[in-house]
Amino acid sequence: AQKVTQAQTEISVVEKEDVTLDCVYETRDTTYYLFWYKQPPSGELVFLIRRNSFDEQNEISGRYSWNFQKSTSSFNFTITASQVVDSAVYFCALSVRPRGNKLVFGAGTILRVKS
């Protein structure tokens, strides 16, 4: 079975601080995909990134960066110089090939960025 754990229920930071959201996953499959989604107060889920299990390169997109480490089954997400607009619930998710690509979500981390 697949499982995603986001141990941090809620994080509060002050604007301009860096923050890392943790994600640990479990699967026995060798081919899988990892995702991060953002759910702002408006409620609509926004896709942020996808990673496949064969690509361990870290990725940076503006203030966002992701650290994928198979050795620890982790896919952590860092926001540099956080802004109030980053306040949202962030979900890490896993899908496994060839199980139809359904996403298994973590419980989410609530990020509050205060000005």
Partner 1 sequence: GAGVSQSPSNKVTEKGKDVELRCDPISGHTALYWYRQRLGQGLEFLIYFQGNSAPDKSGLPSDRFSAERTGESVSTLTIQRTQQEDSAVYLCASSLRRDGYEQYFGPGTRLTVT
Contact residue for partner 1 among 23, 77, 106, 111 (CB under 8 A): 106
Q: How many helices (H) and strands (E) does the chain have?
A: 0, 12
SS3 85: helix
Stretch that binds partner 1, among 18-26, 60-68, 77-85, 94-102 (CB under 8 A): 94-102
Cα separation of the two ends of the chain: 41
Under rule CB under 8 A, residue 35 binds partner 1: yes
- List C-alpha distances in Å: 19 to 2, 12, 35, 40, 87: 26, 9, 18, 17, 11
Stretch that binds partner 1, among 13-21, 31-39, 60-68, 79-87 (CB under 8 A): 31-39
Q: Which residues in 45-84 contact partner 1 (CB under 8 A)?
A: 45, 47, 50, 52
Our CB check for partner 1 shows the closer of 50 and 114 to be: 50
Under rule CB under 8 A, residue 41 binds partner 1: no
C-alpha dihedral (107, 109, 110, 115), degrees to nearest 10: -170
Our CB check for partner 1 shows the closer of 10 and 15 to be: 10
